[in-house]
Every structure is written in C-alpha cells, then in structure tokens.
Chains A and B, each alone.
Chain A
Amino acid sequence: MRAITGEKGDIRKEVTMKSVPRLIRRFISILFLSIFFLLLLNFLLLYFMTKDQTSSRSPYATAQEAARGLIRDGENCALGQDFQEMLREENAWAVFIDNDTHRVIWHTEDLPEDIPMEYSLSEIADLTLGYVRDYPTYVGDGDNGIMVLGYPRDRYWKSMWPTWDYDFIANLPWNILTVMLLNLLSFLILYMVANTGLLKSVNPIVKGIQTLPTGEPVYVREKGVLSELAASINHTSEMLQMQQRQLRRKETARANWIAGVSHDIRTPLSMVMGYAGQLAGDLRLPEEEQKKAQVIVRQSARMKNLINDLNLASKLEYNMQPLARGRENAVALVRQVAVDFINMDIDRRFQIEWTAEESLRACMVDGDRDLLMRAVSNLIQNSINHNEQGCRIYVGVWQEEGSCVIRVEDDGKGASDAQIEKLNHTPHYMVCDTNTTEQRHGLGLLIVRQIAASHGGTVRIGRSSYGGLSVEIVLPADS
C-alpha cells in the first residue's frame, strides 16, 4: 500500500515538472512572435506614412535642376517655362545670387518682400544650411552663382543639428544590434515579472487538481484571479473526502461487526472445546464415547479456525490490519509452524514431514511474522480439512531466483484440473456475492492470498508430486 502511494506521488511530481516548463516555453514563443509582428507592423506603418513624402521631388534636387535651368546672358537671366511651373506647384520662391557680387541678380515674381537682395558670406552659409527669414531654403549650383529656393515656412523642417560622431555611424550595425538586444532584454524582464505572478496563482491550482485523484485532502487558497476555480477544487476535495469517510465508516462497521461476532462466539466455543477435550482424554469413558468427543474437539477446532480466518480476512480486505514488518527467516518460521502442529497432536492421522533441503538454513524475507505463520498454518490446516481420511503433509522452504518459496503439499485427494484452475484465478471471495457456498472452501486460501499480496508475493496452486494438492507462497527474498 505504501509502495503504491509513493509511486503515485512520483507520477504527480513528474507531471507538475513537465507542465510548468511547457507553459513557460509556450509563453516565451508567444512573446517572440508578438515582438516579430510588432516590428513588422512598425516597418509597414513607417513605410506607408513616409511613402508620400519620398515620392515627391526632393527640394535639393529641385534646387539643383532650377539652377541648371537658369539661362544667363550677362546681367539678364531667365528660367524656363516648365521650371517656373514646377516652382509654382511647390509654392516656392527662388533667387539667383551672383558669385562675385553676392547680389541677387534674378528672382521669381512672388518673392516675399522681406527677403534681402544682397548677402554676406556668412548669410550664404546660413541659408545653405538652414533658413532665410524662417523660409526653409535649398541651394543649387548654377552658372557662376547659386540658385536659392525658398519654400513656405510650414513646408519643411530642416535639421540643423550638429552631425553624429563618425564612430557612431561607422559602427551603426553594431549599435542597432545592441539597441535591439537591450529592447529584447527589457521585454523579457517585463514578461517574466508579469508572468511569474500569473504562474504563482496557477501553480497551486494545478497542484490541487493533480492531488485530487490521490484521495488526499486538498485546500487551495481562494485568492486572486483564479479564486473561483480554487473554490470549486476545494469543494470537490471536500466531497471526495466525505465520500471516503463514509465508505471507510461502512467498511469499519462491517469489520467491527465481524470482529464482534467472532469475539462473542469465542467464549461459548471455549466451553465446547474445553469440555470435549476433557472427555476425549477421559480414560473412564468407553472408547466409542471418547471418539465422539474427539469429533467435537476436531469440529470446534475447525470453527475456531473459521472465526480467526473470518476476522483476519475482513481486516485484511479493508486494510485494517497493519503489517508489523521485520526481517524474518522463512525457514525458521515455517519450521516453527510445522512443529506447533506436530506438538499440538490433535489427530494422529496427519503426519507432517519436512522436505526442505538441509543445506538451506535461512531464507530471509521482509514480513510480518504472525501473519506469515498464519498463512502457513492455514495451508496445513487446509490439507487437514480436506482429507478427512488422513494424509501426509509435506512442508518446506526453497530459494528461487530472488524469491523465497514456501510449499505445503499433501498426498490426499487433491483437486481436479478445473478446480485448480478456478482456485488460481478466482478473485477475492469477500467481494463476490454469488456462489457463497464455496466460501467454506476458499476462506483459508483467501487469507493466504491476502497475506501473500500484502507482502508483495503470490500464491501458486497446483498438483503435488505426492499425489494431492500443492500450494506455494512465493515471497520476494530480502537479500
């Protein structure tokens, strides 16, 4: 029983350990997928938002073209019709500054009035970089002069910021990578912080659900997002516990009832057995009467065994008989049972012989001494009960590949193959409600089976080489 519980516990642990990392893996892949889609979305948005701007003519290019389009003939300048059209479309004005005089020698007609007509070198440097009277300006290189295009004040925003460090631009790929990695890291940290909280509230619930089938009481704290779930787990556990208690109570009541009945039968049976025993040994009585008394003794002994069996069987059936395990020598234990039977000497018709090899002095098993002795004595008693004409009973212990085999055989009438087959495969009689008439043959063996099973062993029933029945209890040897 203990072994089974332990196994269950291990499985549960394994499940928990498997499902949580799986959950984490899933969360992380979702995270990476969302980051990927987010980036894609951003790039797309950026593309669509800037598409219109880049599709229009660059002001630098326009200035350059306008500069080339200006035809200069001494003091007179003229701009081609299509260039003028272009400037009108852009809503831009233009001036042409002579290289030598720094004066405006040509301008468009819509030139704002506040635009100066003469420029110093520093003013030219300013307008090349930025603005003239807040009009964003762009410069093109023309025939011995420069063409300056001025756009409406709200048309462009010009960056006049000092440029980047050379190293920064040179290492741009690395810098971008670093930034991306830092982003990723912060994402992960944020994610972990957010999810640990969630996992913390999920874990007790998972554990609770996994504990439910083991039958142990479960209580999950009803707090947080999943409190309703926790409450229903607790409720389920309470119901299971209640059912278990009721079942246990019923089983206990039944076992107690059997114990009570067998207790009450013992005292009257003592008197039957005691007086019959006295009469059986009373030499003053005629032989015939002594024999009758012997029959009463034998039959009351059978009743005694039956009571003991019934009581123990019900206790073993409902797991109410705790095993008092210890390291026991099966050879000594079986020998003691055989000797007890011979010493009791109820009936001379039954001879008990020891068949184990003399070289086998010990065969250690981990078991409950009283229960194992009980099993062996049940087997010997079984041979006695089923061979009223008398028989020889052969008892021995063998060692067999990590097992300890206790064998009880007889040369009595034995059983047919069909009966043996049935004995080997019939389940517990206690739970079988049909064919109850067969219980009187099966109870003794049932207990032997129960005892063997509670020690992790088995029972083999077969035909003996001596002619009768052979029953073996195979127990795991304790090396």
Chain B
Amino acid sequence: MDITYLKEKRILIVDDEQELLDMVVSILKEDGFRNIRTASSVKDALETAGTFRPELAILDVMLPDGSGFSLMERLKAQADYPILFLTARGEADDRLRGLGLGADDYMVKPFLPQELIFRVTAILRRSYKGEEPLVRLQGSMIDFSRGEVVKGGEHIPLTAKEHALLSALCRNAGRIVTIDALCEAAWGDNPYGYENSLMAHIRRIREKIEVCPSQPISLVTVKGLGYKLMVER
C-alpha cells in the first residue's frame, strides 16, 4: 500500500528527556518520516507549534512546566490535529483521561520501535483519509475512494459491508484482525452472532480480490482468531 504521503506529515514531539526525544526522532526518521520537530517544555512546544503547524503531536504527560493534558488543550485551541500520548504513567485513569479529552491514542513507556511506528501510521491514516491511495494486492488493487476492486482490467464494485471490512483489514495490513473486531467494524457494537455472515462476506471479498479464491493469498485466515490482509509494497 502506498503510504509515502504520510511520511511528509509534520510531527511535533514533546518530552523533557533529550535522549528520549533523540531516540523517537531516530525511530521515526529511520522509517522515513522527514518533517519532525521537538520541544522539551510546554512553553517551547506552544512556540514551535505556532510556526511549525504540526499535523501530529506526540506528547509526554509530565512536563517541567505543566501537564501534557493541558498542553493538548492549548494545542488543540490553535489547530485541530491528532495527539498521541507517550508516558511513563501506566494507570488506567490517566489513559481514560487522555482519551476522554480528545487524545487519539496513548502509549506507555517503554515501547518497541515498531509499536511506535504502527501507532503513528495508524493515527495519521485515520486522520488524513482524504488522500486515500490505491491498495495493491497480489493480482488486484483496491480503490477505496471509488469503492471498487480492479482485477485484470475489470472494475468490481464493493458493497458497504465489504468496504468496511476491507478498510479495517487494510488499516492493520499484515496484522491479524480478530473476528470480533471485524464484526464490530461491519455491524457496530455488540456484534455477536454475526460470525456466519462474516464468513459469507469474506468469501465474497475473496471472489473479488483473489486470483484464485479457493486458495487465498491476500486475505488469509488465521484459524479461530481472525483474518489478515497481505498488502504489496
């Protein structure tokens, strides 16, 4: 899937530990992100945000001159963009508080580089949908903006449910999405008892995207757990 446009997004990272800032920058840069600024205090962050106009902010909860939560409110007052909290406080109430105030995600230190990359990419993809690209699979292509699959020069339209299921799978490309999460994506809350319908929809999606639907390569079953969409880079 082509996500190079996401790598151009402006990211602001705020933490009072210079070494941690360096590390996060290094992780993001290694993954291809280019527009990154850092700040080590609330004051610093507000100044930088004014000129840099970030499209994503990664904030520490505890800063020397204030809390990350209040910083988020002030940043959001300037402009609306997604916020990811990065903190050493692992308590559940903090997590709820952060998300309740409008944070998009919350990560507890310590974390693995790929975890950070995944979350940053997921938030960016969710927040900047307008630029939805084509998703390349083996032998076919999904065009979400048109809601169709292109296979061998043929344009096959997707139903609403198929669209919802494919975008949930696509957001987690290469990772397993549980049966329950897929049902929730297609049928909303309390999605129990839709497992058979889900199987029917998956079968129909395979007929549209797979070259050989009986031996799927792109939409793989993980027995008992869920499904995984394999995307071509």
Whether both chains belong to one complex is answered with: yes
Segment at the interface with A among B6-14, B74-82, B127-135, B217-225: B217-225
Q: Is A378 an interface residue (CB 8 A)?
A: no
Pick the residue among A266, A336, A342, A343 that contacts B110 (CB under 8 A): A266
**A residues less than 8 Å from B27 (CB atoms):** 274, 277-278
**B residues less than 8 Å from A354 (CB atoms):** 222-225
**A residues less than 8 Å from B110 (CB atoms):** 266, 269-274, 300, 304
Q: Is B112 an interface residue (CB 8 A)?
A: yes
B92–A324 contact, CB under 8 A? yes
B88–A267 contact, CB under 8 A? yes
Q: Is B212 an interface residue (CB 8 A)?
A: no
Q: Is A223 an interface residue (CB 8 A)?
A: no
A274–B226 contact, CB under 8 A? no
Pick the residue among B24, B112, B176, B226 that contacts A346 (CB under 8 A): B112
B109–A267 contact, CB under 8 A? yes
Identify which of residues 115-161 in chain B touch chain A, using a CB-to-CB cut-off of 8 Å.
115-116
Given contacts A278-B30, A336-B180, is CB(A273)–CB(B112) below 8 Å? Answer: yes
B192–A274 contact, CB under 8 A? no
Contact mask A269-304 → B, CB, 8 Å, 1/0?
A: 111111101100100000000000000010011001
Pick the residue among B17, B92, B177, B181 that contacts A370 (CB under 8 A): B92
**B residues less than 8 Å from A281 (CB atoms):** 113-114
Given contacts A274-B27, A297-B112, is CB(A342)–CB(B192) below 8 Å? Answer: no
Contact mask B173-193 → A, CB, 8 Å, 1/0?
A: 001111111000000000011
Which secondary structure dominates where chain B touches chain A? mixed
Identify which of residues 241-279 in chain A touch chain B, using a CB-to-CB cut-off of 8 Å.
259, 262-264, 266-267, 269-275, 277-278
Given contacts A329-B180, A335-B226, A339-B178, is CB(A270)–CB(B92) below 8 Å? Answer: no
A335–B178 contact, CB under 8 A? yes
Shortest A329–chain B CB gap in Å is: 7
Given contacts A343-B175, A356-B224, is CB(A267)–CB(B92) below 8 Å? Answer: no
Q: Is A391 an interface residue (CB 8 A)?
A: no
Q: Is B70 an interface residue (CB 8 A)?
A: no
B23–A270 contact, CB under 8 A? yes
Identify which of residues 361-391 in chain A touch chain B, using a CB-to-CB cut-off of 8 Å.
361-362, 370
Q: Is A308 an interface residue (CB 8 A)?
A: yes
Q: Is A332 an interface residue (CB 8 A)?
A: yes
Shortest A346–chain B CB gap in Å is: 7
Given contacts A271-B20, A278-B26, A336-B180, is CB(A342)–CB(B112) below 8 Å? Answer: no
Given contacts A266-B110, A270-B20, A272-B110, is CB(A342)–CB(B222) below 8 Å? Answer: yes
**B residues less than 8 Å from A269 (CB atoms):** 109-110
Q: What is the bound-complex CA distance between A33 and B113, given in angstroms?
A: 89
Q: Is B101 an interface residue (CB 8 A)?
A: no
Which secondary structure dominates where chain A touches chain B? helix
A358–B181 contact, CB under 8 A? no
Q: What is the bound-complex CA distance between A223 and B32, given in angstroms?
A: 80
**B residues less than 8 Å from A336 (CB atoms):** 178, 180-181
**B residues less than 8 Å from A275 (CB atoms):** 23, 26
Q: Is A233 an interface residue (CB 8 A)?
A: no
Q: Is A338 an interface residue (CB 8 A)?
A: yes
Q: Is A64 an interface residue (CB 8 A)?
A: no
Most B C-beta atoms less than 10 A away, residue of A274, A321, A346: A274
Interface residues on B, range: 35 or more
Closest to A327 in B: B190
Q: Is B50 an interface residue (CB 8 A)?
A: no
Q: What is the bound-complex CA distance between A269 and B180, given in angstroms?
A: 34
A343–B176 contact, CB under 8 A? yes
Q: Is A237 an interface residue (CB 8 A)?
A: no
Q: Is B97 an interface residue (CB 8 A)?
A: no
Q: What is the bound-complex CA distance between A275 and B116, given in angstroms?
A: 13
B89–A274 contact, CB under 8 A? no
Q: What is the bound-complex CA distance between A332 and B6, given in angstroms?
A: 32
Q: Is B200 an interface residue (CB 8 A)?
A: no
Q: What is the bound-complex CA distance between A384 and B193, given in angstroms?
A: 33
Closest to A303 in B: B110
Q: What is the bound-complex CA distance between A263 and B88, given in angstroms?
A: 5
**B residues less than 8 Å from A361 (CB atoms):** 192-193, 195
Q: Is A311 an interface residue (CB 8 A)?
A: yes
**B residues less than 8 Å from A344 (CB atoms):** 112, 115
Closest to B177 in A: A339
Identify which of residues 69-111 in chain A touch chain B, using a CB-to-CB cut-off of 8 Å.
none
Identify which of residues 320-365 in chain A touch chain B, using a CB-to-CB cut-off of 8 Å.
321, 324, 329, 331-332, 335-336, 338-339, 342-344, 346, 353-356, 358, 361-362
Closest to A362 in B: B192
Most B C-beta atoms less than 10 A away, residue of A339, A354, A362: A339
**A residues less than 8 Å from B175 (CB atoms):** 339, 343
Shortest B98–chain A CB gap in Å is: 14
**A residues less than 8 Å from B176 (CB atoms):** 339, 342-343
Closest to A338 in B: B225
Closest to B16 in A: A267
Shortest A366–chain B CB gap in Å is: 15
B113–A266 contact, CB under 8 A? no
**B residues less than 8 Å from A343 (CB atoms):** 172, 175-176
Nearest 3 A-B pairs (CB), nearest first?
Answer: A354-B224, A332-B180, A266-B88
**A interface, CB within 8 angstroms of B:** 259, 262-264, 266-267, 269-275, 277-278, 281, 297, 300-301, 304, 308, 311, 321, 324, 329, 331-332, 335-336, 338-339, 342-344, 346, 353-356, 358, 361-362, 370
Contacts A269-B110, A275-B26 aside, 18 further interface pairs with beta carbons under 8 A come to: A266-B110, A267-B20, A267-B109, A270-B23, A270-B88, A270-B110, A274-B116, A277-B112, A301-B112, A329-B180, A332-B178, A332-B180, A335-B225, A336-B180, A342-B222, A353-B224, A354-B223, A354-B225
Q: Can you list 17 residue pairs at the A/B interface with Cβ under 8 Å?
A: A266-B88, A270-B20, A270-B23, A270-B88, A270-B111, A271-B19, A272-B110, A274-B24, A274-B116, A278-B30, A311-B90, A335-B226, A339-B176, A339-B222, A342-B225, A354-B223, A370-B92
